[in-house]
Amino acid sequence: MKETLSCLHPNPGWNGCDLEDEPDFPYEGLDEMIGKHCILELYECNQFKLNDEVFIRKSLTSASKIAGATLLNMVTHSFEPQGVTGLALLAESHISIHTWPESKYAAIDVFTCGQQTMPEKACKLLFREFAAKTYSLKSFRRETPASINVLSREP
C-alpha cells in the first residue's frame, strides 16, 4: 500500500496528497530569517511548580514579556493525576510547555518571529522559574520565502 498524507493526518477529509509529490528540500528562496525557535528541556525541576497550573500561566506570561513578545491568548490544561500543558499564543508566534512532575521534567518550545524578540531571555526566565538543575537548549533560525518578507502583520 502506498502511503499518502491522508493516511497519516487525523482529519479523514484531508486527502489526495501523495508523499512522493512533495518537493525536494531545501526550498528555493529562503533567504531571510523570519524568527528563532528554541527547544528547551528542563530537568530536575521543582515538581510542585510543574504541577501548578496558575504558576505555569504566570510563568508563560512573564516569559512572553521578557522576550519582547505580545501575548494574545493563553490556554492551559491540568492532567490527572499530574502534569500541565500550556500554550501562550503570541502575535510573534508561541510559547508552549508540557510538564511531567513525576519526572521533574518540562519540555518547552519558544518560537518568536521578527528581529526584535529575544526567545533566549524567555528560556533563561523559565529555567529559573521552575528551579531546574540542568537543561538542554537547542536554538535554530526559522527562514521564510523572500516573497512574504515584505508583508507586515499587526497583532
At residue 10, the pLDDT reads: 46
93 given a catalytic annotation: yes
At residue 128, the pLDDT reads: 97
pLDDT in tens, the chain (155 residues): 444 444 444 444 444 444 454 444 344 444 466 789 999 999 999 999 999 999 999 999 999 999 999 999 999 999 999 999 999 999 999 999 999 999 999 999 999 988 889 999 999 999 999 999 999 999 988 776 666 656 666 66
**Opening angle at CA 142, ends 96 and 34, nearest 5:** 100
At residue 45, the pLDDT reads: 98
In this structure, is residue 3 part of a structural domain? no
In this structure, is residue 20 part of a structural domain? no
> For residue 6, what is the enclosing H or E element?
helix 5-8
State the pTM of this model: 0.74
Among 59, 93, 94, 123, the one annotated catalytic: 93
Among 113, 123, 136, 139, the one annotated catalytic: 113
In this structure, is residue 12 part of a structural domain? no
What's 111's domain CATH number? 3.60.90.10
113 given a catalytic annotation: yes
Among 98, 103, 139, 147, the one annotated catalytic: 98
At residue 1, the pLDDT reads: 40
Radius of gyration of the chain (CA): 18
At residue 32, the pLDDT reads: 60
Q: Which regions of the chain does DSSP assign to beta strands (E)?
A: 30-43, 71-78, 84-90, 93-100, 105-113, 134-145
- Alpha-helix runs per DSSP H in 15-52: 47-50
What is the rounded CA–CA span in Å between residue 71 and residue 62? 10
Domain count along the chain: 1
In this structure, is residue 111 part of a structural domain? yes
